[in-house]
Amino acid sequence: MLKFFYNAAPNPMKVALLLEELGLPYEAIPVDTRKGEQFTPEFLRVNPNAKLPAITDGDVTVFDSNACLLFLAERAGQFVPAVHDAQQRGVMLSWLMFIASGIGPFSGQSVHFRHAAPEPKAYALNRYDFEAHRHWSLINERLATHTYMLGDGYSIVDIALWGWVRLLPYVLGTGDATWTQYPNIKRFLDLVNTRPAAQRAEALKTRHAFKTDMDDTAKGFMFPQNKRLPS
């Protein structure tokens, strides 16, 4: 059976949504990053980068959320344009990689410097907040003229986006005003959330009680780079 290594962060939730959309049987294996479980020898054999999510299926191993999405969707022949549809595949790959290399990293750094980094952090927060807003503005513009990211058809690009959209007020630190600034993204989020698969994916978070305290032990696992800072 396919094994899905996950926690409740945006990137694993993308893969959870696709698994539910595809109706694939899978074993959900929680990995609690605040307890350092991502650094166990067992998990490092799955993903040497010690990040979530990852999947294994027999002798196949795939890590990185967008790689998992593309692998599963291509194998199932669902939620991706056909191989012979070069035009749509070009659009799909462009926006999928935009999420992988832009939305995810800049949103993640916006979260880190807004909510976790020690002072001084004004320069870094300004940079990543600016870039996060710039990337999300492009998504909002795209969704102003498209029901979904590729047009009328729901795809893995939307699934990849959904993982982060759910937390956008937290990512940007803008609370309810987020949806006034990005109304097309809110419309998209509400639309995807009506899907039964999205509701099942959200429910996956309740299957395991992940550690919520960001105590010194958790910080040591989550931010090992801080050991390099002068005491």
CATH number of the domain where residue 43 is located: 3.40.30.10
pTM: 0.96
Domain count for the chain, please give it: 2
User: Quick one: 66 and 123 in the same domain?
Assistant: no
Q: What is the pLDDT of residues 28-57, one digit of tens each?
A: 999 999 999 999 999 999 999 999 999 999
21 CB neighbour count, 10 Å cutoff: 22
Alpha-carbon dihedral angle through residues 60, 54, 17, 157, given to the nearest 10 degrees: -90
Domain shared by 188 and 212, yes or no: no
Q: Which domain holds residue 143?
A: 86-194
Over residues 60-118, the pLDDT tens digits come to 999 999 999 999 999 999 999 999 999 999 999 999 999 999 999 999 999 999 999 98
Whether 18 and 57 map to the same domain: the answer is yes
Whether residue 181 is found in the same domain as residue 115: yes
Does 60 share its domain with 12?
A: yes
Other beta carbons within 10 angstroms of residue 16's beta carbon come to: 25
Residue 218 has a CB neighbour count (10 Å cut-off) of: 17
